[in-house]
Each structure stands twice: as C-alpha cells, then as structure tokens.
Amino acid sequence: MSVHLSSCSLNCWDNCGFKVEVENGKVSKIDGNPDHPITKGKICGRGRMLAERTNSPDRLQFPLKKLDGEFKRISWEQALDEISNKLYQYKNEFGSTSVLHSHDYANGGLLKNLDQRFFNCFGGVTELIGSICWGSGIEAQSWDFGDANSHSPHDIVNSKNVIVWGRNAARTNMHLFQQLQQAKRRGTKLIVIDPIYNATAKIAHQHITIKPGMDGLLAAGIMKEMLRMNLEDRDFIAHHSIGFEDVVELLDTITLERISELTEVSIIDITELAKIYGDRPTSTYLGLGMQRYHNGGNTIRWIDALAAISGNVGITGGGANFANKQVGKSFSTSLLSLPEKRKNHRQFTMMEQAKSILTAEDPAIKMMIVTCGNPLTQVPNTNEVKRAFHSVDTVVVIDQYMTDTAELADYVLPTTTVFEEEDVYYSSMYHHYVNYGPKLVDPPGEAKSDLWIWTELARRLGFGDDFDYTREQWIKMGLQSLRDQGITYEKLKEFGHLELKVEDIPWSDYRFKTPSGKYEFTSSAAKQRGYDGKLSFSLPKESEWTNPELAKNFPYQLLTIHPLRSNHSQHYHLFKSEPKVKIEISKDIADKENLKNGDYAVVWNERGEISGYISILEHGVHAKIINIDEGVPAKFGGAVNKLTSSSLSDNGLGSTLYDCLVNIKAAKSHINN
Ligand code: SF4
C-alpha cells in the first residue's frame, strides 16, 4: 500500500487536499491531507466517494456507438476516425459553427481547458456563454468593484460580525463552516439570512427567514436604516465611490414598512442588521442561490452596496465575499487555449441553448460534443433540452459514466478520473491554494484522458502539432505566469500544494477596477453596455406581484438546492440505497395540501412535472417554499430542471433556476400502482 498527496477535482468551493491510499493498483481510501493550510485534513463524503467513482464496475470502459438505438462497443480507431470525419465533413459543408461544444465544470483540472484549444484550432465552433451557476453575481461584482474577489479565508479571525447570506456553508463550503464555528467560539456574532433553517443557520446567533428573491430589497432596507441612524461610512462614500446620490434618491421612494412587508423580515430585524453592519468590521459571505432569479444581479449589487456604504470594503475582517476570480486568473489559460486560432465562432447562452439549437440557421447545429458536463440534468427546462439534443445529427459525449446526456449520444467516449491522470487543481470560489494531483492508477478498460482524445482527433484533422506536448510540458505551460511567484511544476510536485500570491484583502488600496477607478453604486460598465447602471427595486419574474395570474395557479416557490451527498448529478448512482426524489415542503404547505411525511406527491408547472416523497421542514422555513435537490438522474426520478425556466437573469447571462412557481398535490405512488 502506498499513500500519495492529491486533490479533490469536484466543482466545489473548497478544493480540498487529499491523502490517497493505493493498494494493488486501486484507490483504496481517500482522506484529507492534514498539512493542507485551508482544508486541514477534513473532507466531505462527496470527495471520499471519488474512490467509488474511480473503482465502480459501472465505469465506461470502451468507446460506444449507438446503432439501431443500442450502444455497441467499437474500437478507439473507429470512434476517432468516424468522429474526426464527421467534424471535417460538417465544417466543409456547413462551416465550423455547425458544431456546438458544450463544456461545464464537472471535472476540475487545469488541462481540462484543452478542449477549448482543440475547438479554437479546429477553426472555432458554436460555444456556450453565461453560467448556470453564478453568472449574474460575477457580473454584478464586476460592475461594482471591477472584479469578483474574496478575502483570504484566514481573514475571518478579524471580523467582529459575520453575515452568511444565502450560503449553506455546512453543506457546500465545509471549511468556511468550520471557521464559522470557531469564530462563534471566539465571540464573533454570526447571523444567517436564508429562506431555509439549514445546518448553517442552526449554529448562528440568529437566523432571519426571508422571502426568496427579496434579498436585494432587504439590503436596501438595511441601508435605509443605516442612513437614518447616521451609521454610513461618509469618508468611503465621498472619496472612493460614485453614484451614491442615485441610491439615496431611490431609497427615498420606498418606506421601511413596505420593505418589511415585501421581504417578510421584521423592521426590528432590519434595524438590528443596520447596527451590525455599522459595527465594523462585518464580513458578508454571499451564496449563489439568491442570484438565480430574474433580479439576481441586482440582488448581489444591493448587498455589495450595503458592504460599501457601511465601510466594510477593503478593510480586514470585512468584504462582500461571493467568488474569488483572482485565483483562476493567475494561470496562463490563454496559452493553453490559443484563442487567436479561432477564425469563426458563434455564441449561444448556456440558459437558452435548447431554444437556440432548435432554431439555429445558417448554419443549423449538426454536431455536438459534450465535455465535463451533463446538460440533461443540469440545464433548465429538461424537456426542451432533450428535444434539442434529439434534433442534432451527431452527438458525442465524453464522460466517466452513462449519464442522462450520454444516453442520448451517438458516440460515448470513456474518460479518466482525477486519480488516473496528472493535473493541477484550483477553485475560483474560496481559497487561493493550488493543488497537485499525480497519476496514481491506470484507468479501467480502454478509458483515456480527455487530453489523449483531443490529441488523437487533432492529429486526424491536421493540427496535431498544436497538441504535440507531454503532460509535464502542458502543466508547465499553464503555470508559466506563476514562475515569478516561484510556483513551478517541480515545486508543486514536491509540496502537493502552493499558495498563490493574490490579494488577501481585496480593494484595500481603494483602487477599484471599474472605469472610474472607484466603487460604483451606479455602474459605468453597465451604462457602456446599454443598461442605466443604477440599482433598482426589481423583483423575481415569477411572483404574485409580477405575474399574479401565474401565481394563482402556481402558488409555491421552488428552490433546487445542491444535494448533500452528491456533487450535482455525479454521485447518485453510487449511493448504497437507491436515491429517491425528496420533496421538501414547509409546514404551512403540508397543512394546506394535506400532505404528510413520506406521502407521494407531484410538483408541476407549465414546463413539466416531477414526483417524489414528501419531507416536511418543520422550523424556520419560509411558508411558501418547496425544495427539490438538483441533479437526480432520470432512472431515480429525474431532474428537477423539468420545472425550471431557461430565462436569463438581469445580467451576466446567469440562470433563473430559483425563479420558479409550482403547485403540488398528493399522487398515487408508482410503487403502489
Ligand atoms: S467536494 Fe468539496 S468539500 Fe468535499 S472533498 Fe471535494 S473539495 Fe472538499
């Protein structure tokens, strides 16, 4: 048995350092690396399950081709010849943009970006832009600060107060959760604002339940109270910001009573929050769910503005921590992806991809290649996505397992897991350490790395020279921009992780990356793009105020939060007992609809329906909430995205997954039928 340092490759806030045991050529156990400066030996069950994900007999092991509706094993040579011939033919006949590349972030690793190099060298294809996950929040922070950067995780020790706003750290960001527990023990005041009384709320001094989609308005209410009590930071506002007068003018048009009524947060709580923000330093940790609404970007901008007027920007112990984009920007990704090679390209939004595929002309989409993703469960409006995939002549999916998306493919190519290839790992969400992951075991059957697949296809298509590098050379290329920091391939290999030199306290020099160089309450970047750039009191698209008729038929708000034990759709098939769709509802809905724990029920709206088993959330949940965890594969009940909308958020081409009204009723269990 041997033990090796490695990294979690899952799309997660924490990017944990691993200690991996290998026995008889198999990964036998995964633990946390106790010497990792942030993750310190603690990892979650989803990370541990990467051992099962690697060893499972259900792994795809051979290239598959669908013939008469059935998958048949074929050789790599046949698969690569046929796929490269099709790429060549479609490009010649219809242009290279008749090929669509669908990429997401299911499997991390710097070299996973080489798919972009392949498609750029191919001449450019139809690409997906925007983000299901965090697009509107990222753009919101770019408008306000000029970028979306977080404080170092170590800085939390300097916070007098911590507000966790819509981030269930206990489930999705476990090392922040540990820090919150420690901070509370040190005497830091901890407040959680969330529509659900979740595990993070349980450790807080106070949990404030809010009506979903109204977080921006709550921030506006807190600001209004701060201004009434003269708690704002006049110096920051006067010297380091522009557009404050627009905010004051807007706040004068609404009463605190109205804000309290709309957000369903009491005036007492709003006033108390204003005092906490005025009692610096107060840090805010924002979650991703609250920007998945039609008004999502505006929501994040209000919370940024609250951090700014309260003087909690650029100071130790403060911050509006949403993402940490400075991490990803440290790497030489364009050396890897060669954007200058792209001659043509077309862009569809991630959200509206199904509609765009179905209606594309000049050229129509003839071929799709899916990497690092499972759009059939993750992209909103599953039924429409399915129709779109069926409409394309040739679909190729590269994956480790037969996902819902792979089931629809014409060719499925088996790829490697994190332990079967060498790469480096980072996350632009939380901490600023880069991890090294060596190749530890051989892949099963004939599974090959994504890089090998691109290299072989590139050779067949005449640009093999652009892929003629060793893995070591590729990693060195990606790390080139870090040489001056002393971060090299050799050192990463030696130490297992290294600290990137990024800002620990973003904006501490008050030099913002906005066009004015100041914090922008009214965004010049937004104005340049045709928006008015001001904050507003915008609302979700599906609500009793914006669409009363819809709300009459569909009175409940659906949330689709990240599952506890699966990384999105990736782990459900590895559960010891068969997963079921769990429909979590408030006590009020249970009483009104006469539903009990364990009842079988159907949730539906105009886009689709999904059935599952009732679980009643007894305490502290907003009265109109239904939650169904995202990512459930079709064979276990299907993805909740059958219900969600493909509309875009107000900026950043983000999703509106939580902006979703539904109805619910008891149903006959398919088991009893
Ligand atoms: S899923 Fe996240 S928390 Fe869990 S081991 Fe991986 S990086 Fe760590």
User: Which ligand 1 atom is the nearest neighbour of the CA of 13?
Assistant: 2
Residue 541 tokens, joined:
């698209």
Q: What is the dihedral of CA 454, 456, 461, 462, to 10 degrees?
A: 110
Tell me the C-alpha to C-alpha distance, in Å, between residue 55 and each of 28, 282, 407, 443, 482.
Answer: 9, 45, 21, 9, 35
Q: Is 168 helix (H, G, I), strand (E, B) or coil?
A: coil
Measure 601 CA to ligand 1 centroid, in angstroms. 32
The residue nearest atom 7 of ligand 1, judged by CA position, is 15
* 492-505 pLDDT tens trace: 999 999 999 999 99
Which residue in this structure is represented by tokens 């409940």?
A: 556
User: Which ligand 1 atom is the nearest neighbour of the CA of 567?
Assistant: 1
User: Mean pLDDT across the chain, nearest whole number?
Assistant: 97
Residue 605 tokens, joined:
């709206």
Contacts of 594 (CB under 8 A, 6+ apart): 666
- Confidence band of 633 (pLDDT split at 50, 70, 90): very high
- For a mutational test of ligand 1's pocket, the pick from 14, 19, 418, 419, i.e. the residue with the most ligand atoms closer than 8 A to its C-beta, is 14
- Euclidean distance between CA atoms 429 and 438, whole angstroms: 23
pLDDT at 644: 98
Q: Which of 190-204, 376-390, 659-673 has the lowest mean pLDDT?
A: 659-673
Residue 110 tokens, joined:
């710097």
The residue nearest atom 1 of ligand 1, judged by CA position, is 47
- Euclidean distance between CA atoms 560 and 380, whole angstroms: 11
- For a mutational test of ligand 1's pocket, the pick from 39, 46, 417, 567, i.e. the residue with the most ligand atoms closer than 8 A to its C-beta, is 46
Let me know: does 302 contact 522? Beta carbons within 8 Å: no
Residue 518 has φ and ψ, to the nearest 5°, of -120, 170
Measure 566 CA to ligand 1 centroid, in angstroms. 11
**DSSP code per residue over 554-597:** --EEEE-PPPSSSSTTSSGGG-SS----EEEEEHHHHHHHT--T
Measure 180 CA to ligand 1 centroid, in angstroms. 17
Which residue in this structure is represented by tokens 């966790």?
A: 164
* 148-185 pLDDT tens trace: 999 999 999 999 999 999 999 999 999 999 999 999 99
pLDDT at 672: 41
Let me know: does 80 contact 464? Beta carbons within 8 Å: no
Measure 439 CA to ligand 1 centroid, in angstroms. 19
Residue 317 tokens, joined:
């112990």
User: Which ligand 1 atom is the nearest neighbour of the CA of 14?
Assistant: 7
Measure 164 CA to ligand 1 centroid, in angstroms. 20
Measure 339 CA to ligand 1 centroid, in angstroms. 31
- For a mutational test of ligand 1's pocket, the pick from 5, 7, 8, i.e. the residue with the most ligand atoms closer than 8 A to its C-beta, is 8
Contacts of 42 (CB under 8 A, 6+ apart): 16, 32, 174, 175, 178
> E strands of 248-316, at which residues?
282-286
List 161's β-bridge partners, or say none: 189, 282
Whether residue 527 has pLDDT greater than 50: yes
- For a mutational test of ligand 1's pocket, the pick from 43, 175, 497, i.e. the residue with the most ligand atoms closer than 8 A to its C-beta, is 43
- For a mutational test of ligand 1's pocket, the pick from 16, 179, 434, i.e. the residue with the most ligand atoms closer than 8 A to its C-beta, is 16
Tell me the C-alpha to C-alpha distance, in Å, between residue 527 and each of 140, 513, 514, 520.
Answer: 13, 16, 12, 11
State the SS3 of 306-363.
Answer: HHHHCCCCCCCCCCEECCCHHHHCCCCHHHHHCHHHCCCCEEEECCCHHHHHHHCCCC
Whether residue 248 has pLDDT greater than 60: yes
- For a mutational test of ligand 1's pocket, the pick from 13, 20, 44, i.e. the residue with the most ligand atoms closer than 8 A to its C-beta, is 44
Let me know: does 294 contact 540? Beta carbons within 8 Å: yes
The residue nearest atom 8 of ligand 1, judged by CA position, is 16
Measure 100 CA to ligand 1 centroid, in angstroms. 31
- Euclidean distance between CA atoms 139 and 650, whole angstroms: 10
* 327-386 pLDDT tens trace: 999 999 999 999 999 999 999 999 999 999 999 999 999 999 999 999 999 999 999 999
* 577-605 pLDDT tens trace: 999 999 999 999 999 999 999 999 999 99
User: Which ligand 1 atom is the nearest neighbour of the CA of 9?
Assistant: 6
Residue 619 tokens, joined:
């305490």
Measure 581 CA to ligand 1 centroid, in angstroms. 23
User: Which ligand 1 atom is the nearest neighbour of the CA of 32?
Assistant: 5
- Euclidean distance between CA atoms 19 and 331, whole angstroms: 25
Query: Within a 10 A sphere around the Cβ of 340, how many other Cβ atoms?
Result: 8
* 298-334 pLDDT tens trace: 999 999 999 999 999 999 999 999 999 999 999 999 9
Measure 174 CA to ligand 1 centroid, in angstroms. 8
Measure 413 CA to ligand 1 centroid, in angstroms. 26
Measure 18 CA to ligand 1 centroid, in angstroms. 9
For the four alpha carbons of 83, 87, 93 and 98, in that order, the dihedral sign comes to positive
The residue nearest atom 5 of ligand 1, judged by CA position, is 47
Q: Is 485 helix (H, G, I), strand (E, B) or coil?
A: helix
User: Which ligand 1 atom is the nearest neighbour of the CA of 47?
Assistant: 5
Measure 405 CA to ligand 1 centroid, in angstroms. 24
Element (H, E) at 602: strand 600-605
User: Which ligand 1 atom is the nearest neighbour of the CA of 174?
Assistant: 3
- Euclidean distance between CA atoms 12 and 8, whole angstroms: 9
| Bridge pairing between strands 161-165 and 282-286 | parallel
Measure 8 CA to ligand 1 centroid, in angstroms. 6
How much is the average pLDDT of 218-231?
98
Measure 45 CA to ligand 1 centroid, in angstroms. 8
- Euclidean distance between CA atoms 555 and 551, whole angstroms: 5
- Euclidean distance between CA atoms 466 and 458, whole angstroms: 8
- Confidence band of 670 (pLDDT split at 50, 70, 90): low
**Closest by CA position to 664, among listed 613, 630, 617:** 613
Query: Within a 10 A sphere around the Cβ of 85, how many other Cβ atoms?
Result: 12
Tell me the C-alpha to C-alpha distance, in Å, between residue 548 and each of 327, 473, 542, 579.
Answer: 43, 59, 9, 36
- Confidence band of 673 (pLDDT split at 50, 70, 90): very low
User: Which ligand 1 atom is the nearest neighbour of the CA of 45?
Assistant: 4
Whether residue 669 has pLDDT greater than 80: no
User: Which ligand 1 atom is the nearest neighbour of the CA of 44?
Assistant: 4
Let me know: does 423 contact 475? Beta carbons within 8 Å: yes
- For a mutational test of ligand 1's pocket, the pick from 10, 15, 417, i.e. the residue with the most ligand atoms closer than 8 A to its C-beta, is 10
User: Which ligand 1 atom is the nearest neighbour of the CA of 15?
Assistant: 7
Tell me the C-alpha to C-alpha distance, in Å, between residue 516 and each of 235, 302, 513, 519, 583.
Answer: 17, 19, 8, 8, 48
Measure 637 CA to ligand 1 centroid, in angstroms. 26
- Euclidean distance between CA atoms 180 and 195, whole angstroms: 19
- Euclidean distance between CA atoms 80 and 454, whole angstroms: 10
At residue 646's C-alpha, the angle toward residues 645 and 649, to 5°, is 95
Measure 592 CA to ligand 1 centroid, in angstroms. 39
Tell me the C-alpha to C-alpha distance, in Å, between residue 597 and each of 640, 670, 672.
Answer: 20, 17, 17
User: Which ligand 1 atom is the nearest neighbour of the CA of 48?
Assistant: 5
Measure 138 CA to ligand 1 centroid, in angstroms. 22
The residue nearest atom 6 of ligand 1, judged by CA position, is 47
Let me know: does 260 contact 208? Beta carbons within 8 Å: no
Measure 13 CA to ligand 1 centroid, in angstroms. 7
User: Which ligand 1 atom is the nearest neighbour of the CA of 427?
Assistant: 7
Residues with CB under 6 A from ligand 1: 8, 10, 12, 14-16, 43-44, 46-47, 174, 567
